[in-house]
Chains A and B, each alone.
Chain A
């Protein structure tokens, strides 16, 4: 079945550092890919998405490019802030109308001032 693998955390960085959180997937068909973020005490919020190969999703300085050849959707940000500290989830929905999200385990990001 479909699956998502993302790097284990916690990931600890200093403010203004460059961030990469790796995400790879296995899916049949043509999935849509998502990054969700969860701040403490809150629900999951959509951060960005990409629906076809080579699409780049971006939001709040974060970017991820849908790479079909490497089945990857790595999350990047050029300069992180303390307020970016959260848990980040990579996810996909399979093509063909199925709409349940398949999630990775989540990566806890800690940004130190």
Chain B
């Protein structure tokens, strides 16, 4: 069964460093998403991406964040200068279609620890 994969499973970085989290969405999916979950808090939507551009983003997704689909398979989230409060689990998701009833398929997550 096709699945969304994410690498690495755990990333440790120093405050101020840049990190890139990688995701491989399901191959025939067209819509891509990033979410994060700070320990003990809600899963929060960050951004959605379609046709090589951002289609929706939350208030959390500020200038420190960027997303890219550098080739036909990968979807990346870059944090330019990490802060302690960026420590969280980051989930990638993909879907074939958009709209309120679409099913988003999630990856297992990358745990980011900023020291």
Contacts and interface: CB of A to CB of B under 8 A. Distances in A.
Physical interaction between A and B: yes
B101 A32 contact: yes
A97 B100 CA distance: 6
A45 B43 CA distance: 14
A88 interface: no
B55 to A, nearest CB: 8
Interface in A10-65: 30-32, 36, 41-46, 49, 51
B18 interface: no
Interface string B17-32: 0000000000000010
Contacts of A41: 108
B71 to A, nearest CB: 22
A99 interface: yes
Interface string B66-98: 000000000000000000000000010101001
A101 B108 contact: no
Contacts, number: 72
Interface residues of B, number: 30
A99 B44 contact: no
Interface string B44-68: 1101100000011010000000000
13 contacts: A30-B100, A31-B100, A32-B101, A44-B106, A45-B106, A46-B105, A51-B100, A95-B100, A99-B48, A99-B104, A103-B44, A104-B42, A105-B42
Given A44-B43, A51-B100, A100-B47, 20 more contacts: A4-B42, A31-B100, A32-B100, A43-B91, A43-B107, A44-B93, A44-B106, A45-B106, A46-B104, A46-B105, A91-B43, A94-B100, A97-B100, A98-B56, A99-B33, A99-B56, A99-B95, A100-B48, A100-B58, A106-B43
Interface of B: 3-4, 31, 33, 35, 41-45, 47-48, 55-56, 58, 91, 93, 95, 98-109
